[in-house]
Structure 1
């Protein structure tokens, strides 16, 4: 559930790769490493209970299947509610204060959950964990601390670290829960939040100044256009349904694995090979989609495979080998969608609106996580554990309809053009002059940032003419 935050992070590269590869400065390297560490440790703490909570929650007072599901997904609601507002707040009071505050809330929620003997207090702790929504502020700080030429790779480093944290959580969660108990896992999560604060204080540099980066963070006046875009709405609903399905799956999957004969402490023996194989398996499909021009076919096929896998869980969850195969399919689809959907959002968003589009997209996935826990718990309590798998099959059927009607956006590249002083002084008509350059399909001039945000067709772009507008010319 790399994404969960973050799914979105690696689609946030801010400039095209036309220029010669530029090395990181020492400061940029510190920023990328430090912020990736903060992001990944927070995600690790959130994800570690996914593979184990359903197995140990019965020890909590008042635990019911519905409340277990709610505890698993509760963080998603507050994460969705606060992610964009806290990102906007960081424009006013600074990035680091918002990130410190978010980590404090995350640590406090973890401590409350660790001390709780009643599931209602665990739910409250998870709600607090989610309210420390630092994703938007962290991405904005990354943009503040990196140049256009290296920002893509800094964002990619964060995205990769989040993906690895999800894999690590599935592997580490079961043995840690066995040795430390669920309370111990939450204490460890609180420790990870404190470690994140230390990294922020001693590793991540302070930016010389913070500014709005339209390609990296939400901007209020762009929301109406983003929400009115039918392609973006379909992609938002797609990530919503994907995370609803995955979180609902973990409401009962650990129970099925244990019932199939694998002890709780040994669940990592199943997760580890399945996750590694799934990462390898998605690569040819990404190549087929991006380079082969078969995005829609890959998307539709993946959703069909997800629905078939959920039906497989319903009918064949008594065999550990079949569970392993079905998990392999699910994780392959999940990883694949986590790569393809943000890429499509990036292509569908107008120039200069990608940060806002990704903010809405990310919030959609967190709402999906919340409802996945809620609906999974409700189905488990009302109709039995196997019924939860039918929830996933139903969401897949809905998604097939959305995917079938999706208009795949044109394969345009986002490019940030640093404007020269002469371009700023001659700002009248600058947008129309940029649009007149062959290959420039969309342009938004942001004089306050001294840049122009472009969507370009790299295959026919007149780079030499474009660079006459740049400070680098």
Structure 2
């Protein structure tokens, strides 16, 4: 069997898990473009509760993202994923049955408690070979990106015909479909991938929090998602006020996202080709600042709002796509799971803070100041990003190894350190795993594998 192509199990695992992940994200995102408009019909509505309803899922996701991954190591991937989807289903029904904004906030918080991201990615790793794992993860990542675009289209269409309750009922159906996929389509894992690069290790979390380069990325993803959710607290109403009917908002979001994807790819390619990744990264943050400041100053012209939304999504999607890649290159060998766990928690915490602060600022000072807050925080992020060190191009690999004792593990670690092309390595004797970060253009993979055997 060729090692250059996905086998049948890997294809089934990547597509089915990507669908589970994608449907769940569609359910979480669908209210973003519509809640500011249709939420006014709920009892107890106010800008503050609006923001909390949009961002509530992020708070519980941030709290449970790492623990759910650790639980999947103890109790198994599938039980944790199915349990999370059932909690997500329950939260969707609570929100659908609620006549008050308080019930919707509670339902959204329950949705977030179904935090299955770590367990899903770990199961995908368990079901794939080391050399094929990047393709499997890329498939899941692509579906996550597509889910946002689909949600921006479905949200306005469903809400126009069936209201907010319709959105939550569709979300509940997606949760049930996800459970069925996990039960009947997702293969059962018979092996376990090395967990250090997949699931957070509690003992490594403190070290990850102290790392200045990782801290910059964590702060960045928090600010990025704060800006996104805060914008959707006020943007839908602004569009309706300049004559853009709510049911047609998808006609703005879909082209904006498509244009942003099309323009983002060549920028990424050129930045990598000419070794200007840091410049492009900081340029995307600067573009966010410009769009937020302009929205703060001018909200009355439809053509300008459309242009600014397109520019915002160009910056957002570029940053969203490049930060996980940068994180995987910065994270120490064997600790990517811990680094990614903190990164994901910061991402969801940013979604919560963006909604909560967006609602509070709208209530106290007016909606235009939401954009001023986002611009100010983005400026802080730009300052942090300018201090980032250039990231060496590398690939993280993990191997099961046969070790006779701890002295053998130390001998293997010393030999790895001397091997050309090896940037960093870590031997975990208790798990019989070697984590190696390499420059794939300089390392001799046959020599590396021979040494580990």
User: Structure 1 residue 411 and structure 2 residue 393: aligned?
Assistant: yes
Rounded Cα–Cα distance in structure 2 between residues aligned with 1:449 and 1:155: 23
Rounded Cα–Cα distance in structure 1 between residues aligned with 2:348 and 2:65: 10
How many pairs align? 452
Q: Report the counterpart of residue 184 of structure 1 in structure 2.
A: 166
Partner SS for 1:468: helix
Partner SS for 1:429: helix
Rounded Cα–Cα distance in structure 1 between residues aligned with 2:13 and 2:278: 36
Q: Report the counterpart of residue 400 of structure 1 in structure 2.
A: 382
Q: Report the counterpart of residue 204 of structure 1 in structure 2.
A: 186
Q: Report the counterpart of residue 116 of structure 1 in structure 2.
A: 98
* CA offsets 1:236-270 (integer angstroms, 9 cap, x no match): 00001000001100000101111111100011111
After superposition, the CA RMSD in angstroms is 1.7
TM-score with structure 1 setting the length: 0.92
* CA offsets 1:159-208 (integer angstroms, 9 cap, x no match): 00010000000011111100110011001101100110000011001112
Q: Report the counterpart of residue 259 of structure 2 in structure 1.
A: 277
Aligned-pair CA distance for 1:448: 4.7
Rounded Cα–Cα distance in structure 1 between residues aligned with 2:204 and 2:123: 20
CA contact (8 A) 2:412 2:452 kept: no
Partner SS for 2:409: coil
User: Structure 1 residue 157 and structure 2 residue 139: aligned?
Assistant: yes
Partner SS for 2:434: strand
CA contact (8 A) 2:194 2:433 kept: no
User: Structure 1 residue 77 and structure 2 residue 59: aligned?
Assistant: yes
Rounded Cα–Cα distance in structure 1 between residues aligned with 2:255 and 2:391: 35
* CA offsets 1:98-140 (integer angstroms, 9 cap, x no match): 1111111111111000000010110000000001100001111
Q: Report the counterpart of residue 142 of structure 1 in structure 2.
A: 124
Partner SS for 1:445: strand
Aligned-pair CA distance for 1:389: 1.3
User: Structure 1 residue 370 and structure 2 residue 352: aligned?
Assistant: yes
User: Structure 1 residue 357 and structure 2 residue 363: aligned?
Assistant: no
Partner SS for 1:442: strand
Q: Report the counterpart of residue 330 of structure 2 in structure 1.
A: 348
Partner SS for 2:390: coil
Rounded Cα–Cα distance in structure 1 between residues aligned with 2:152 and 2:44: 26
Rounded Cα–Cα distance in structure 2 between residues aligned with 1:269 and 1:107: 29
* CA offsets 1:65-113 (integer angstroms, 9 cap, x no match): 0100110001000000001001101111111111111111111111000
TM-score with structure 2 setting the length: 0.96
CA contact (8 A) 1:109 1:128 kept: yes
Q: Report the counterpart of residue 148 of structure 2 in structure 1.
A: 166
Residue ranges of structure 1 left out of the alignment (5+ in a row): 1-19
Rounded Cα–Cα distance in structure 1 between residues aligned with 2:440 and 2:5: 23
Aligned-pair CA distance for 1:421: 7.4
Q: Report the counterpart of residue 30 of structure 2 in structure 1.
A: 48
Partner SS for 2:197: coil
* CA offsets 1:209-235 (integer angstroms, 9 cap, x no match): 445521122122221221121000011
Partner SS for 1:467: helix
Q: Report the counterpart of residue 318 of structure 2 in structure 1.
A: 336
**Are residues 272 and 321 of structure 1, via their aligned partners in 2, closer, same or farther at CA, if it must alter by over 3 Å?**
same
**Are residues 325 and 83 of structure 1, via their aligned partners in 2, closer, same or farther at CA, if it must alter by over 3 Å?**
same
